[in-house]
Amino acid sequence: MYYDNGLIKDVMKEKYAKIERRIQVKRDAKSRVSDFKPIYKEFTFTEAKEQGDRCLQCPIEPFYGIESNIEFCRTGCPLHNDTLEWIKHTREGKVEDAFELSNALSPFPEILGRVCPQDSLCQGSCTLSRTEFGSVTIGGIEVYLNEEAFEKGLRPYYGEDKSKSGKKVAIIGSGPAGMSCATFLLRTGIEVEVFERADRAGGLLTYGIPNFKIDKDVIQRRYDWMIEAGLKVHLNSEIKNEEQMQGLLNDFDAIFVAVGAPSGRKSGMKNEEAKGVYQVMDILTHIQKNVFESFYDSILQKKNIVVVGGGDSAMDALRASVRIGAESVKCLYRRDEANMPGSKKELVNAREEGVEFQFLVSPKEITIDDDNNVTGIICQNTKLSEPDSSGRQKLNIIEGSEHTIPCDIIVLALGFDNVKFPWFDTAKIETGKWNDIIVNDEKRTSNAKIFSGGDAVRGADLAVTSALDGRTAAYTIIKDFGIYL
């Protein structure tokens, strides 16, 4: 609408022909596969300012508001982050003001700026994304701003005296949903204790998303600040049974359940239980533990790896396997490249790093030796039909096309399901058809004292939507406690 106006178009051309859109510089493939360090370099002030100067500062919000169906960066961001304002302050060098605004609605902007798929969120809704000039690189500016603020000694606000409110909340799971809920509760002066099954906090931010996408120090730093502010984190503390849940119900005024969607889907292939077949999360956790210990002594070293699946977690496993020293790394996907569900950017990155892709192959059976070790995978070639009226192409197996791809390790990256814990019944938490926890708009479950959000409710989704759910639940809990913001 904006850009269709001839005068505005001319003004935009005048401005945007001069400032080129840039993304953060990527390390070259040879250097980046030799370590697990992040592949993108952060913007400098000059780059962030220049990219911030590309922002139109659209006058959309005052006209239409964020609840309208007119898209702009804030409506594209699930948190409705006040992007326009903090970009303006950043480019003017007003770091303190920009930092405060950037942290107001987002519980951890320096993390989301690194992991959000911005092209389908804030940047996908940026007015400039509908022009030949391309969107403002919001994620890059968000990371620059927050890192610059930390460098200058600024810290996120986590509230005053936690005993004042007299209220205590338990959070089960320390991923982005739990971490976000804890953030907004702490800010309001509420005592919070997190119970986490793993040996480190952060959920999939720590043990799912690989280190080359987000350095784990960035997650731990946030947790350290929250702990300094009074958060209690109980690691290696799985809530397993009904007694434990009853204990939490007795000891806490509210509970937020943020257990994610941890169950990897099976393939149904013959010999799926053979030695050498792994779920994608087992492999990613194994590799990240190696990175934490810096010993790089991995079951994947010098092995021929096949990853089955074409989504983002498949890309992560492929690229992590290259770095840990696999002999060869192959991706098998049953549709074609255009139909891959994973991000195109990650596909390019994986190719640059030496991953081989085989499209239009459908794995059928795993071959094994006498000791039940994987020796290969039998595949059939596939063909896509012409698109039907809905645009969907049917997948057909090509008869007689069976062939075996030799390999030592098979990684299944076929998606995730929710898990119904036995204590859901004790706590009277209702679940849906897919074991997803049922909540209302305020993130309250069928038990008025228990809330939930993130992947436990949505099924496998995103860090930013989990952060949104954590924030919504925190606001409801705060309101229940009679605290007014």
Q: Note whether 411 binds ligand SF4 by CB under 6 A.
A: no
> Nearer to ligand SF4 by C-beta: 116 or 407?
116
Q: Which is nearer to ligand SF4, 114 or 303 (CB)?
A: 114
Under the criterion CB under 6 A, does residue 381 sit at the interface with ligand SF4?
no
Which partner in ligand FAD, ligand SF4, none is near 121 (CB below 5 to 8 A by kind)?
A: ligand SF4
Determine which residue in the list 47, 82, 142, 346 makes contact with ligand SF4, applying CB under 6 A: 142
Determine if 121 is a binding residue for ligand SF4 (CB under 6 A): yes
465 part of the interface to ligand SF4, by CB under 6 A:
no
Among 118, 362, 452, 466, binds ligand SF4 (CB under 6 A): 118
Shortest approach of ligand SF4 to residue 436 CB, angstroms?
Answer: 23
Closer Cβ to ligand FAD, 133 or 252, answer by number: 252
C-beta closer to ligand FAD: residue 36 or 421? 421
Minimum CB separation of residue 67 from ligand FAD in Å reads 24
Site for ligand SF4 contains 116 (CB under 6 A): yes
Q: Which stretch binds ligand SF4 (CB under 6 A): 115-123, 174-182, 331-339, 371-379?
A: 115-123
Residue among 53 and 272 whose Cβ is closer to ligand SF4: 53
Nearest to 464 by CA among 78, 97, 131: 78
Rounded to a whole number of angstroms, the minimum distance from the CB of residue 48 to ligand SF4 is: 14
Q: Closest CB to ligand SF4 among 106 and 288? A: 106
Is residue 81 close enough to count as binding ligand SF4 by CB under 6 A? yes
Smallest gap from Cβ 443 to ligand FAD, in A, equals: 12
Q: How far is the CB of 135 from ligand SF4 (least distance, A)?
A: 10
Which does residue 139 bind out of ligand SF4, ligand FAD, none, counting CB within 5 to 8 angstroms by kind?
ligand SF4
Residues that bind ligand FAD (CB under 6 A): 115-116, 172-178, 195-198, 203-205, 208-209, 213, 238-239, 258-260, 262, 284, 312-313, 316, 421, 454-456, 461-464, 466
112 touches ligand SF4 (CB under 6 A): yes
Sign of CA dihedral 420, 421, 426, 427: negative
- Interface positions, 60-79, toward ligand SF4 (CB under 6 A): 77, 79
Output the smallest distance, CB 404 to ligand FAD, in A. 28
The strand pair at 395-397 and 374-384 is best described as antiparallel
51 binds ligand SF4 (CB under 6 A): no
Candidate residues 48, 58, 122, 355; the one interacting with ligand SF4 per rule CB under 6 A = 122
Angle, CA of 171, 177 and 178, to the nearest 5° = 20
For the CA atoms of the chain, what is the radius of gyration? 24
306 binds, among ligand SF4, ligand FAD, none (CB under 5 to 8 A by kind): none
| CA–CA gap between residue 259 and residue 174 (Å, rounded) | 8
377 lies in the binding site for ligand SF4 (CB under 6 A): no
Distance between CA 317 and CA 350 in Å, rounded? Answer: 10
Nearer to ligand FAD, 128 or 233 (CB): 233
Which structure tokens are listed for 186? Answer: 């702490």
Residue 196 contact, options ligand SF4, ligand FAD, none, Cβ 5-8 Å cut-off depending on partner type: ligand FAD
Pick what 81 binds: ligand FAD, ligand SF4, none; C-beta below 5 to 8 Å, kind-dependent: ligand SF4
User: Which option in ligand FAD, ligand SF4, none does residue 122 bind, with CB closer than 5 to 8 A by kind?
Assistant: ligand SF4
- SS3 per-residue string spanning the chain: CCCCCHHHHHHHHHHHCCCCCCCCCECCHHHHCCCCCCCECCCCHHHHHHHHHCCCCCCHHHHHCCCCCCCCHHHHCCCCCCHHHHHHHHHCCCHHHHHHHHHHHCCCHHHHHHHCCHHHCHHHHCHHHHCCCCCCCHHHHHHHHHHHHHHCCCCCCCCCCCCCCCCEEEEECCCHHHHHHHHHHHHCCCEEEEECCCCCCCCHHHHCCCCCCCCHHHHHHHHHHHHHCCCEEECCCCCCCHHHHHHHHHHCCEEEECCCCCEECCCCCECCCCECEEEHHHHHHHHHHHHHHCCCCCCCCCCEEEEECCCHHHHHHHHHHHHHCCCEEEEEECCCHHHCCCCHHHHHHHHHCCCEEEECEEEEEEEECCCCEEEEEEEEEEEECCCCCCCCCCEEECCCCCEEEECCEEEECCCEECCCCCHHHHCCCCECCCCCECCCCCCECCCCCEEECCHHHHCCCCHHHHHHHHHHHHHHHHHHCCCCC
The whole-angstrom separation of Cα 73 and Cα 55 is: 10
Q: Which is nearer to ligand SF4, 229 or 464 (CB)?
A: 464
Residue 279 Ramachandran class (φ > 0 left, ψ -120 to 50 alpha, else beta) = beta
Which is closer to ligand FAD, CB of 165 or CB of 452?
A: 452
Does the protein bind ligand SF4 through residue 248 (CB under 6 A)? no
Sites of contact with ligand SF4 (CB under 6 A): 77, 79, 81, 83, 106, 112-113, 116, 118, 121-122, 138-139, 142, 464
